[in-house]
Structure 1
């Protein structure tokens, strides 16, 4: 699954992608063409994941629960829901930072942070 963009280009009607406990994924690139219908991207506890790069112009919700990763995002004009889970506040803040320019359009923001 190293080259996820090629995989996704074969699924133009895919609207919801959920990755759960896939420890084989290290670097994930989800670059959606304008024809891809991806609206929901959920990533949960993929422990080997080190970086995530995505551009999905039709994305409405993004959910991430996991380790601290390098995160690079492209244009997300429809993003309305952001759901972040982290083991501590610093980690949540780090994951939120790339979305700072989209906070004014976010309708639902959920932070799940374990308190010490």
Structure 2
């Protein structure tokens, strides 16, 4: 009986964390920001380039808050084309716009 109660308590405790994790305000990574906008919505931000990976076609940017998608300031990688990153270097301050087709943050435009 004691084992059953312990197992039940551990299960309830574990499930409460998964419910809490599903409801983390300010961290909507699906691009919808909790609204009815589509995931192809384009949002704009400013930041500093922290890394460029030509092989993976990605650029890592430390950016400010993005209210359009309810993101706090963070550093993250975005998909880019080779043409978009030509002439950019680590440390450059940039303005950029991005969308999230299929949940993957993809640069639409970027400039120093």
Higher helix share: 2
Q: Higher relative contact order by CA 8 Å / sep ≥ 6: 1 or 2?
A: 2
TM-score bracket relative to the smaller structure: under 0.3
